[in-house]
Amino acid sequence: MRKPSVKLWPLPVRRNSHKEAQNSQKFLCFLGLFVVIFPFEIGAVLTGTHLHKIDETPTGVGARFQYHFTRQIALDAEFVDYRKKTSALFGTKTGFRFDRFGVFGKGRLGFWHFSNFSKSYFAADTGGVLEYYPSSRTVVRIDIGDTIIFYGGAQLGTVHNFQPGLGFSYRF
């Protein structure tokens, strides 16, 4: 006569959920390592400029994104909405970061779009950046720059425009 045998098989759902939990933990650890090695910032900016050739002084609010390759070098992107104008600039920020302050130079390329003219113009932004770090995660930023707009043509040509800015960012 045969003895009854009992076989215990783990449930496939249980086995898969355990593997998924392990994978998600590894993924979260990887993301944590990624953020520690390559931190990024997201922030808000308030800026203004004097557009000499068309004699306007718009002020605008926008968003800024930075991806830090090292403590001295970052990819810098900024989108600003002025009334009937928009600017989008992408480039680098390089310089020196200390415990509470940082001094940087910036160079960015992009465009200015004038909705009242339905035209976009190539632009470049160069200047300096002063940063203050109230905590390890927050940044107060002051920008002083020269926004160069390439209007083209003999009438407007290439114009240099002073552009100050004030921003606040959060580091991840």
> In this predicted model, what pLDDT tens digit does every residue of 50-89 receive, in sequence order?
888 888 899 999 999 999 999 999 999 999 999 899 999 9
Separation CA 158–CA 53 (nearest Å): 9
pTM of the model: 0.75
* pLDDT value at residue 27: 45
* pLDDT value at residue 116: 83
Q: Which of 14-23, 27-36, 40-49 has the highest mean pLDDT?
A: 40-49
Q: Which CATH number characterizes residue 120's domain?
A: 2.40.160.20
The answer to whether position 27 is within a domain reads no
The answer to whether position 4 is within a domain reads no
The answer to whether position 121 is within a domain reads yes
* pLDDT value at residue 121: 94
Going by C-beta distance under 8 Å and a sequence separation of 6 or more, which residues neighbour residue 78? 45, 62, 63, 64, 65, 87, 88, 89, 90, 108
Give per-residue pLDDT as tens, 97-145: 999 999 999 999 999 999 888 899 999 999 999 999 999 999 999 999 9
| Alpha carbon of residue 24 to chain centroid | 27
pLDDT bin (cut points 50, 70, 90) of residue 21 is very low
The answer to whether position 77 is within a domain reads yes
The answer to whether position 85 is within a domain reads yes
Domain carrying residue 49:
37-171
Cα dihedral 153/109/112/51 (nearest 10): -70
How many separate domains does the chain show? 1
The answer to whether position 24 is within a domain reads no
Q: Is the pLDDT of residue 38 over 70?
A: no
Going by C-beta distance under 8 Å and a sequence separation of 6 or more, which residues neighbour residue 93? 66, 73, 74, 75, 76, 104, 105, 106, 129
The answer to whether position 30 is within a domain reads no
* pLDDT value at residue 152: 83
| Alpha carbon of residue 52 to chain centroid | 28
The answer to whether position 151 is within a domain reads yes
